[in-house]
Amino acid sequence: MYLTKEEEKTLEGEYGETLRKAIEILVALGDIYGADSLIPIKSAQIAGVSYKTIGDAGLEWISDLEGKVKVPAILNPAGMDMLRWEEMGIEPDFARKQQEIIDAYESLGIRTKCTCTPYYLEGFDAKLGDHLAWSESSAVSYANSVIGARTNREGGPSALSAALVGKTANYGYHLDEMRKPVVAVTVDCELSGSDYGALGYVAGKSIGSRVPIFYMQNKPSNDELKTLGAALAASGAVALYHVEGVTPEAIRSNFERPDENIIIEKQQIADVYEASAEFTEGGLDTDIITVGCPHCSPEELETIARMLEGKSIQKEMWVCTSREVAEKCVGHVKAIEKSGAKVVCDTCMVVSPASNNYKAMMVNSGKALAYVPSMCRVASRYGSIEQCIREAGVVDEN
């Protein structure tokens, strides 16, 4: 891989050990995947933030680094709401370690915003063709598919290295030839809302890590595309997808229809909403409802606020979003919290150990449906936002 004189000097350690290690990681990835060079990036999103997932070893690795990031960089969700962790039932020891992780990242100049939806935040509004080094799989999918920016699914170390160097290796989804669809998915029914998360949950398994192009009867909104991409990345390993006539590259490139065609029918979507035997025969009752996976947009907060206006709920309900979006939507947050639901920032139902205080979770996200059982060992069942709010035991206050 070609390196500039400056990059060579960095690799030789002229700018310190942290940068030497960082560029060494980028060059190693570039050599493995046949990159021709390093390319500048607009921003980075760093994985490996929740103390639940990185533990003391991760904290030690980050704490040993010195220097400052060269591009705007933010963090994946942490293991708790950084301000309301006690209300979530987080132990003080966990909270202390989680704060140490955030402080270690902050000392590198990384913004302590912990979210899987960087694209809603000031300074991270990527655009078509931008090269990024993002990590969280739903964010990677959204950047590549809905925005048409270009990022591989970075790991924590490679995203952090890219942020410190300000560059990433030029391979994978940074290249035109890797962005062409290789499998068609024909959706044989109308979809709306949480049906898109169900579609991703079903189709992801057959698509695997390939690039699909969807042929749909509807034109999904960006929020619906967000939940589709999150579920595709969780049940498969899809980092980029196209939707004929909807996503920017499908519109611009007029892709040839791939020979392989996966057909998704209405019953397959409906099956995702069927509760598992654990609930129906095992008598399991939902004790928590969570929405906001990926983190809620301002529009999603508005919808939930409108649905909960003047109502109260009887069960624990989390509405997950980024702190910046919550601070921009104070009215919606108030209306949601007035019902008894909690607007939870900085974290989520998958990466917070607080989920383990519950046995059975209802979600409206195909990604959470897949991850809550595997990453939290909590039973999960699927519902639309309307079904989730009904399950929370909503009662009219008026």
Ligand X SMILES: C[C@@](O)(CCOP(=O)(O)O)CC(=O)O
| Interface with ligand X (CB under 6 A) | 47-50, 53, 76, 116, 136-137, 233, 350-351
Residues 236/243, Cβ–Cβ less than 8 Å: no
CB of 153 to ligand X, least distance (A): 8
Instruction: Return all residues near 334 (Cβ < 8 A) that are at least 6 apart.
Output: none
Nearest C-alpha neighbor of 304 from the set 392, 195, 199 = 392
* Backbone conformation region of residue 221, classed left if phi is above 0, alpha if psi is from -120 to 50, else beta: beta
Q: From the list ligand X, ligand SF4, none, pick the one residue 47 interacts with, judged by a Cβ distance below 5 to 8 Å according to partner type.
A: ligand X
CB of 295 to ligand SF4, least distance (A): 6
CA distance linking residue 210 with residue 148, whole number of Å: 17
- Asked if 136 interacts with ligand SF4 (CB under 6 A), we say yes
Task: Determine what percent of the chain falls in helix, strand and coil, rounding each to the nearest 5.
Answer: 45, 15, 40
Q: From the list ligand X, ligand SF4, none, pick the one residue 313 interacts with, judged by a Cβ distance below 5 to 8 Å according to partner type.
A: none
Structure tokens at 379: 């039973």
CB of 118 to ligand X, least distance (A): 12
- Residue in 18, 138, 141, 286 binding ligand SF4, rule: CB under 6 A: 138
CA distance linking residue 180 with residue 213, whole number of Å: 9
CB of 117 to ligand SF4, least distance (A): 7
Q: From the list ligand X, ligand SF4, none, pick the one residue 49 interacts with, judged by a Cβ distance below 5 to 8 Å according to partner type.
A: ligand X
3-state SS assignment for residue 257? coil
CA distance linking residue 23 with residue 29, whole number of Å: 10
Query: Which parts of 115-134 interact with ligand SF4 (CB under 6 A)?
Result: 116
Query: Which parts of 44-83 interact with ligand SF4 (CB under 6 A)?
Result: 77
Residues 23/7, Cβ–Cβ less than 8 Å: yes
- Asked if 351 interacts with ligand SF4 (CB under 6 A), we say yes
- Asked if 185 interacts with ligand SF4 (CB under 6 A), we say no
Residue number with CB closer to ligand X (7 or 81): 81
CB of 344 to ligand SF4, least distance (A): 10
Binding site for ligand SF4 (CB under 6 A): 77, 116, 136, 138, 230, 293-295, 320, 348, 350-351, 367-368, 371
